[in-house]
Amino acid sequence: MSDPVKVRFAPSPTGFLHIGGVRTALFNWLFARHHGGQFVLRIEDTDHERSTEESITEILESMKWLGLDWDEGPYRQTERQEIYTQKVDQLFKEGKAYRCYCTPEELDRKRNEAQKKGLKPKYDGTCRERTDQLEGSPSVIRFKAPLEGSVVVDDLLRGKVVFDIEELDDLILQRTDGSPTYNFVVVVDDADMGITHVVRGDDHLSNTPRQCLLYDALNFTRPKFAHISMILGQDKARLSKRHGATSALAYREMGYLPAAMINYLARLGWSHGDQEIFSREEMIQHFSFDSVNTSAAVFDPDKLSWLNEHYIKTTPPEELARQLEPVLVSTGVLQSGHGLDASEIAKVIPSLNERAKTLVEMAEKSKFYFNKEVEFDEKAKTKFLTANARPLLEKVIAGLSPMENFSAEEIETLFKKIVEEEGTKLGKLAQPVRVALTGTTVSPGIYDVILLLGREQTLVRLNNAFQAI
Partner RNA sequence: GUCCCCAUCGUCUAGCCUGGCCCAGGACACCGGCCUUUCACGCCGGCGACGCGGGUUCGAAUCCCGCUGGGGACGCCA
Active site residues: 241
CA 15 – CA 19 distance, rounded (Å): 12
Compute the least distance from the CB of residue 238 to RNA, in Å.
3
Kindly give, in sequence order, each residue whose CB lies less than 8 Å from that of residue 456, ignoring residues fewer than 6 positions away: none
- With contacts defined by CB under 7 A, name the span among 159-167, 214-222, 281-289, 456-464 that binds RNA: 159-167
Compute the least distance from the CB of residue 33 to RNA, in Å.
20
Compute the least distance from the CB of residue 128 to RNA, in Å.
14
CA 198 – CA 268 distance, rounded (Å): 19
**Binding residue (CB under 7 A) for RNA from 134, 147, 442, 468:** 442
Q: How many other C-beta atoms can be found within 10 angstroms of the C-beta atom of residue 452?
A: 21
Q: Is 469 among the residues that bind RNA (CB under 7 A)?
A: no
**Binding residue (CB under 7 A) for RNA from 165, 193, 298, 342:** 298
β-strand partners of 163: 151
Cβ atoms 128, 98 nearer than 8 A: yes
CA distances from 341 to 35, 107, 218, 318, 361 (A): 39, 63, 58, 9, 20
Binding mask 207-246 for RNA (x = CB under 7 A): x---------------------xx-x---xxx--------
**Binding residue (CB under 7 A) for RNA from 24, 28, 38, 46:** 46
How many residues bind RNA, per CB under 7 A?
86
By CB under 7 A, the residues from 71 to 90 that bind RNA are none
Q: State the DSSP string of 400-453.
A: HTT-SS-SHHHHHHHHHHHHHHHT--HHHHHHHHHHHHHSSS--S-HHHHHHHH
Nearer to RNA, 305 or 463 (CB): 305
Q: Is 10 among the residues that bind RNA (CB under 7 A)?
A: yes
> In the 8-state DSSP scheme, what is residue 22?
H
Q: Is 52 among the residues that bind RNA (CB under 7 A)?
A: no
Burial, 463: exposed, middle or buried (Cβ in 10 Å; 0-12, 13-18, 19+)?
middle
- With contacts defined by CB under 7 A, name the span among 67-75, 280-288, 335-343, 439-447 that binds RNA: 439-447
CA 144 – CA 98 distance, rounded (Å): 7
> In the 8-state DSSP scheme, what is residue 142?
E
Q: Is the peptide bond before 223 cis (omega within 30 degrees of 0)?
A: no
By CB under 7 A, the residues from 313 to 372 that bind RNA are 313, 354-355
Compute the least distance from the CB of residue 402 to RNA, in Å.
22
By CB under 7 A, the residues from 174 to 213 that bind RNA are 175-177, 181-183, 202-207
Q: Is 36 among the residues that bind RNA (CB under 7 A)?
A: no
**Binding residue (CB under 7 A) for RNA from 81, 85, 126, 441:** 441
Q: How many other C-beta atoms can be found within 10 angstroms of the C-beta atom of residue 101?
A: 16
By CB under 7 A, the residues from 245 to 284 that bind RNA are 267-269, 271, 273-274, 276
By CB under 7 A, the residues from 98 to 157 that bind RNA are 102-104, 107, 111, 115, 118-123, 138, 140
Nearer to RNA, 51 or 196 (CB): 51
Q: Is 172 among the residues that bind RNA (CB under 7 A)?
A: yes
- With contacts defined by CB under 7 A, name the span among 190-198, 324-332, 388-396, 443-451 that binds RNA: 443-451
**Binding residue (CB under 7 A) for RNA from 4, 36, 50, 54:** 50
Compute the least distance from the CB of residue 335 to RNA, in Å.
27
Q: Is 291 among the residues that bind RNA (CB under 7 A)?
A: yes
By CB under 7 A, the residues from 365 to 424 that bind RNA are 412
Kindly give, in sequence order, each residue whose CB lies less than 8 Å from that of residue 437, ignoring residues fewer than 6 positions away: 368, 374, 443, 446, 449, 450, 453, 458, 461, 462
CA 399 to chain centroid, in Å, comes to 51
CA 126 – CA 137 distance, rounded (Å): 15
